[in-house]
Amino acid sequence: MVTDTSPLVVDSEIITSSLDDPEKFAALFDRHAGTLYRYISFRLGPELAEDLVGETFLIAFRRRDAYDVSYRDARPWLLGIATKLITGQRRTEVSRYRALERQSPAQPVEGPEEAITRDLTAQGSRTVLLNALALLSRGDRDVLLLVAWSDMTYEEAAHALDIPVGTVKSRLNRARRKIRHALGGVNPLEGHDHG
Amino acid sequence: MDELKTLIKELEHEPPHSLARQRLRLAQEATAAPRDRRWSRLLRHNRREQPLLSGRRLAMGAAVAAAVAAGVAVPSLLGSADPAYALTKNQDGSINLKIYDFRNPEHVEKELADWGVPADITYLPLGKRCGNNRAPFLKGDDVGATKEELSNSDAAVQAGLRERLEKSSSYQAIRPQDGITIYPRHIKPGQIALIEVMENPVTPTVERPGVAWQFSGRLTTGPIEPCKVVADPSATDIGDATPPAGS
């Protein structure tokens, strides 16, 4: 099937035209499947990501007649659907962060002292960050990771998750505060001896 | 939050070629279901014939009883020997619509308009439906139902779906209570009540149960396109649907 992926045609037009010609919806897949895969694989790992990309597009396809065409870019909508699917797998997500956290940090090899310190700092931050992500409530984590990953605006995130903008702001503030607190409260040189 | 960005880059994966399988999944669904009606079916309210309320005469009796209970009955088409419908205003501000004869929907529209409710009403025989979407959907009507939930027959899942559906903007405004009950306070300026009513020409009986009539109602901001009538084989499917509240 040949689909038009020209950027001159905005996403909302693809969705509108797919109402009469459903096969046109595949153009949206061609545009955004890779983006969705990266997002889902970062949160849940590659094993589940592929299937959930497919699931996201099937749900989007079935809801395409309810799409708000004032949003020309469909990414927030698609990422919102994917985020809700990820929320359904939150145990997998938390287990993933825990498992990554437990992985022993790479042993610094001989080298300049600054390089060793830098490695340990990065490793310590990573461990602390994974722990902090695992501890966030799912609502806070969804907003934080969606915004951090995609750089979408508060308004787009609110649209994506179907929550008020004020809720996006308060969740984001709370999540960031917790992450900063976790990162600031660690001595990176002592923070890597988990597991 | 540079640390978070670094972590994200570290944890995300490049899309594999096998993602093409998921594209195929989508393409198959798009080809097989030219127009997915699962969602609108949820917004449609099947009315199973109940022995106690069967027949138009009894339905009219129920309308009178309801009006008496509310105490502020405003019968419509006063003086008509054969009223096609009855509109009554309840004390809580809601408007009850009962249809006895499927003709002159524009009269219903006009009278509703007089009461401040912009409405677009279409009558169809059961087994037909409007094949086009006709008008934009409201954002507040998307309850985020997944494929699994829609096809899951488990009572708890269906109850959960119904609960979410009942919180939708359209359901708040147009409810399957005692016929059709419209709540003007849930209709915002600029919104139109888009109602399609399908009647079964054969009155179901206890021996031969079936759907007596059904309607779908939702709010829209318009513009509304004319109904393109198509066949709806699922219309007579009474399945194991739970009768809606108030029936």
Q: What is the mean pLDDT of each run of 10 residues along chain B (247 residues)?
A: 86 91 90 51 40 29 29 31 71 83 81 88 81 82 69 74 78 82 89 83 59 76 86 61 43
Give the CA distances from residue A86 to residues A1, A5, B50, B200, in Å, rounded to whole numbers and listed in that order.
Answer: 30, 27, 43, 44
CB contact under 8 A, B30 and A23: yes
A163 has a chain B CB within 8 A of its CB: no
pLDDT grade, residue A46 (50/70/90)?
very high
pLDDT at A185: 57
Give the distance from residue B242's alpha carbon to the nearest chain A alpha carbon, in angstroms: 24
Instruction: State the count of interchain CB pairs (< 8 A) between A and B.
Output: 119
Chain B residues lying within 8 Å of A126, measured CB to CB: 3, 6-7, 10
A162 has a chain B CB within 8 A of its CB: yes
Q: Which residues, 6 or more positions from A67, have their beta carbon under 8 angstroms from its beta carbon?
A: A12, A15, A16, A74, A77
In a domain, B46, yes or no: yes
Higher-pLDDT residue of A37, A66: A37
pLDDT grade, residue A119 (50/70/90)?
low
Task: Give chain B's domain count.
Answer: 1
What range does the domain containing B91 cover? 37-236
> Residue A192 pLDDT > 60, yes or no?
no
Please give the Cα distance from B175 to B90 (Å, whole number).
14
Q: Which residues, 6 or more positions from A133, have their beta carbon under 8 angstroms from its beta carbon?
A: A97, A141, A145, A179
Chain B residues lying within 8 Å of A65, measured CB to CB: 39, 133, 137
> Residue A159 pLDDT > 70, yes or no?
yes
The complex's ipTM? 0.80
In a domain, B8, yes or no: no
Task: Looking at chain A, list the stretches that DSSP marks H as alpha helix, in order from N- to C-terminal side.
Answer: 11-20, 26-44, 46-62, 75-87, 90-102, 113-135, 138-150, 154-161, 165-184
A149 has a chain B CB within 8 A of its CB: yes
CB A157 within 8 Å of CB A168: yes
Q: Which residue of A has its CA nearest to B131?
A: A20
Chain B residues lying within 8 Å of A38, measured CB to CB: 12-15
Which of A69, A53, A52 is closest to A18 using CA atoms? Answer: A69
In a domain, B246, yes or no: no
B36 has a chain A CB within 8 A of its CB: yes
**Residue B120 tokens, joined:** 């677009």
Q: Which domains does chain A have, with CATH numbers?
A: 7-88 (1.10.1740.10), 90-195 (1.10.10.10)
Which of A81-95, A142-156, B51-65 is the least confident region? B51-65
Please give the Cα distance from A41 to A111 (Å, whole number).
34
* Interface with A, mutate which of B10, B17, B19 (most A CBs under 10 A): B19
B221 has a chain A CB within 8 A of its CB: no
Which of A69, A87, A78, A67 is closest to A143 using CA atoms? Answer: A87
Closest partner residue to B4 (CB to CB) among A33, A61, A179 is A179
CB contact under 8 A, A38 and B18: no
In a domain, B13, yes or no: no
Higher-pLDDT residue of A172, A122: A172
CB contact under 8 A, A42 and B8: yes
CB A58 within 8 Å of CB B29: yes
> Residue A87 pLDDT > 60, yes or no?
yes
In a domain, B83, yes or no: yes
pLDDT at B73: 29
CB B152 within 8 Å of CB B158: yes
pLDDT at A116: 52
In a domain, B5, yes or no: no
Which of B219, B224, B195, B37 is closest to B141 using CA atoms? Answer: B219
pLDDT at A117: 53
In a domain, B188, yes or no: yes
| Whole-number percent of chain A with pLDDT over 90 | 57
- Residues 72 to 101 of A: which have CB under 8 A from any B CB? 84-85, 100
Please give the Cα distance from A35 to A28 (Å, whole number).
11
| Stretch A122-131: mean pLDDT | 81
In a domain, B64, yes or no: yes
pLDDT at A132: 92
Q: Which residue of B has its CA nearest to A21?
A: B34
Higher-pLDDT residue of A189, B128: B128
**Residue B81 tokens, joined:** 């020997």
